[in-house]
Amino acid sequence: MLPLVLLIIFLVIAFSIVAWMGFTKKRTLIAFLIASGCSLLFAGISHIFVPGIVADNIGWNVCPEFQYEIGIANILIGILLIFSFYFDNQWILAGIVASTIWGWGNALGHIISYKKTKNKKSGNVGWALYLDIFLPLISIILYLITYVYN
């Protein structure tokens, strides 16, 4: 549940800054990407430094080596999204594509885990599943509104 709370905090902070600067389509997209990136960065750090807590929340057996790799991937995609404010539109699109492949791939893994083992932990088929599906979907919609259907 902590990751969901932190995402909400990151969203409030990012959108408060956008409100102060003035809302535009691009700033709204960037704020959402930065908040999502911070959430992924936190997830990556958690996988690396507290793998037991994360594994228990997901319903996994602890495997620090595997979770280290998961953590690095989360950090990589988080950084891609966070730095979207600095680089051009292609960087933004690359970050969205990477986070979509990662998020939807993870969502499929959560669903398979549930089907095979009936793992109902919130980190498997609760908040984690919904974030893995909807954060990329919202990013895609905001990107389309900003750049395609301008």
Please tell me what DSSP assigns to residue 62: P
Show the tokens assigned to 150: 């301008």
* Amino acid identity for residue 52 in this structure: G
The encoded tokens of residue 99 equal 């986070």
- Asked whether the beta carbons of 74 and 54 are under 8 A apart, the reply is no
Query: In which residue ranges of the chain is pLDDT below 70?
Result: none
Can you give the pLDDT at residue 134?
95
What pTM does this model have? Answer: 0.91
Residue 20, domain extent: 2-148
Hey, is 59 helix, strand or coil?
A: coil
What's the one-letter identity of residue 141? I
Please report the pLDDT score of residue 23 as a whole number: 87
Nearest residue to 82 (alpha-carbon basis) of 127, 39, 145:
39
Domain total for the chain? Answer: 1
**pLDDT tens per residue across span 109-132:** 999 999 999 999 999 999 999 999
pLDDT given for residue 85 in this prediction: 87
Q: What is the pLDDT of residue 110?
A: 95
Q: From the CA atom positions of the chain, what is the Rg in Å?
A: 16
- In angstroms, the CA 5 to CA 68 distance is 23
Residue indicated by tokens 């909807």 = 134
